[in-house]
């Protein structure tokens, strides 16, 4: 099986979320004809219909529901990835941890240091007045 065209999948995902081809076309600044053509290409690739007509609207088919669940995970994760990458470009990450008196500072230190990836631009600060412990990588 060859790879899937992710642009086709992205357009399908938008139609599903918007509930209509016109809504997706407006959100993506494309024509409805472009969206329809891309979904047809995806349907050919998947060998099945993704939507069925319901009155004047569209309703996802069983295949459409299945494909949407995967597409939603993919595009949600890709957006999270972009958010993290863009955030990291803007500044170093600060992770401020409040530590309860009942916890050993040595234990907290070892747990936090184990969580930090070597060479990552992160500054860990655990504070519990009157004691302050700082770690930097």
Contacts of 93 (CB under 8 A, 6+ apart): 87, 120, 121, 122, 123
Higher local confidence (pLDDT), 56 or 117: 56
Higher local confidence (pLDDT), 111 or 118: 111
For the chain, the structural domain boundaries read 6-88, 92-136
- pTM for this structure? 0.63
Q: Label residue 95 by pLDDT band (50, 70, 90).
A: low
Higher local confidence (pLDDT), 98 or 121: 98
User: What is the reported pLDDT for 17?
Assistant: 96
For the chain, helix (H) and strand (E) counts, in that order, are 5, 5
Q: Label residue 46 by pLDDT band (50, 70, 90).
A: very high
How far is residue 92's CA from residue 56's CA, in Å, rounded to a whole number? 51
Q: Label residue 130 by pLDDT band (50, 70, 90).
A: very low
| Domain boundaries 6-88, corresponding CATH code | 1.10.10.10
Percent residues over pLDDT 70 in the chain: 77
Q: Label residue 27 by pLDDT band (50, 70, 90).
A: very high
Higher local confidence (pLDDT), 19 or 112: 19
Average pLDDT over residues 119-129: 60
């Amino acid at each position: 099986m060859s790879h899937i065209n992710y642009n086709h999948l992205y357009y399908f995902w938008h139609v599903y979320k918007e509930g209509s081809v016109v809504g997706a076309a407006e959100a993506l600044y494309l024509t409805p004809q472009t969206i329809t053509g891309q979904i047809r290409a995806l349907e050919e690739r998947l060998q099945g219909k993704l939507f069925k007509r319901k009155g004047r609207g569209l309703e996802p088919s069983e295949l459409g529901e299945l494909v949407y669940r995967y597409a939603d995970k993919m595009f949600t994760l890709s957006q999270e990835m972009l958010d993290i990458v863009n955030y990291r470009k803007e500044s170093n990450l600060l992770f401020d941890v409040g530590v309860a008196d009942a916890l050993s500072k040595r234990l907290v230190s070892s747990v936090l240091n184990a969580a930090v990836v070597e060479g990552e631009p992160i500054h860990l600060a655990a504070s519990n007045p009157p004691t302050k412990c700082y770690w930097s990588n």
